[in-house]
Amino acid sequence: MNSSYTRLDDGSDSNKGRSTSCVTLAVVLGCLTVLGIILAIAVLERPSAPKDHETLPGEAVGSEFFSDQCRMTLVESIPQDMKYKGNVTFGIPLVKAWKNLISLATHQVDVVSFYWTLTGDDISVNSSSDMFGRQILKDLEELPSRNVSVRLLSSVPSVRTNSTDLKTLKEKGVQVRRVNFGRLTKGVLHSKFWIVDRKHVFIGSANMDWRALTQVKELGVVLYNCSSLGKDLHKIFQSYWVMGQSNSSVPQHWPALYDTVINKEHPLMVKSDNVSSLLYITGSPPSFCPPSRTQDLEAILSIISEAERYVDVAVMEYFPTTRFEKPQRYWPLIDDAIRRAAFEKRIKIRMLVSCGRDSDPAMLPFLQSLASMDSPHHDINIQIKVFIVPVGNQSDIPFSRVNHNKYMVTDKVAYIGTSNWSGDYFMTTAGVGLVISQHAPHPVWKTVLQSQLRVIFDRDWHSEFAVPLADLKHHPDCKLST
């Protein structure tokens, strides 16, 4: 089926659309006192041409921080040959956003990715759909010749591949470090973000993988001319970078230079004319967060507890347990928060959980348990759907054709992260998130990122790719249904 391709940032294109979206969420019993979060909300409308700001903004009323402008844009990857029915809206293509960030670079590019596989050769696959990955690799290779300093980070342990990307880039003058999170925290470096010239930022679900551009459904956000946030995220990058040295050890107390003045209590206020929004970056694991940094889990629990009408979640995996430590442990913190919101505050919960050929069937009982609370007669609303990306003729490409999204949108805030929702990701694994609080008069509400993210969620929720849990039967492209 054909569909229109509408750009969420500033207008519309016409092209063929494709898309997907999945989420993962689970179950448990229990209860949890959740921290509250109060985000000041100001009027927001579409920013005009951004003005650069190179210095950290000064303190303002209410101990919030002001920055003159940040332009925010949602970006997506929609797997090839995945067509939505009707006229639907998409974010800017991820490959376009990455190429644009590279073209803007004048002096420094820092990139963090769990692993690097930008060509089909890296995974012993011959596919023309790796074309965009090869382009990105070539663009990164050329940066040092433009006198742009490039630093790249990946994880130890990581995904086993035949990748030579980092070796090739290093030969071109790029600085490369692998952070042994297995030794440092018994986790991995799962963050995915870019910082360009300390003022342009990408945060999202996509690793430096050609499949993230053409074979996997991804979602992220790019912020342009946002030096305050760029410098703040750079502190997290720098903490990884120093831990990438041999014989490094996580300090009991991080030095003051890693502290932040931008957090849940003091978000960054971005103003443009009569437009304003509040932003802050979250981090995990706790051992990598100074006390001033809002932890990722704290933000997620606060966002759920502060919602007043609805909570929409899209995540690849959802387990109220640990996943990688042995023996596994029950970990109900997020699950309890969801149940409490639905039961005590009558919040409407919708969860899109991903299902693909590599999904763990052990997730299904947790999702069913959570869904069993749904009782409209008692005004308890928890709906769960499984998002299935059709494999089609792409079955020879491993670990693809899946919804890799990791975000949440409520009537209060938008949250875009890099972690799946299970215990290890918040206790031992490195991840980041961006929290955005916005408000606008009705005529311009559709232009703000928070509203656009809900449009994307609704698009996927009502698509032919989202299957209600109760209707999930045997499906060749979803391992949960086998």
Nearest to 295 by CA among 32, 35, 2: 35
Burial of residue 14, with CB atoms counted within 10 A of its CB: 0-12 exposed, 13-18 middle, 19 or more buried: exposed
- Bridge partners of residue 315, in order along the sequence: 353, 406
Burial class (CB in 10 A: 0-12, 13-18, 19+), 351: buried
Helix (H, G, I), strand (E, B) or coil at 477: coil
Half-sphere exposure of 452 (CA within 13 A, CB side): 26
- Please state, in angstroms and rounded to a whole number, the distance separating the CA atoms of residues 422 and 333: 9
CB atoms within 10 A of CB 308: 12
DSSP letter (8 states) at residue 58: P
**Pairing of β 406-410 and β 175-180:** unpaired
Beta strands in 158-267 (DSSP E): 175-180, 193-196, 200-204, 208-209, 218-224
Tokens (6 digits) for 479: 């391992």
Classify the C-alpha dihedral 402-112-37-410 as positive or negative.
negative
DSSP state of 460: H
User: Of 261, 218, 203, 231, which is closest to residue 60 (Cα–Cα)?
Assistant: 261
> Catalytic amino acids?
190, 192, 197, 404
Structure tokens at 352: 């899109």
CA distance 69 to 46: 11
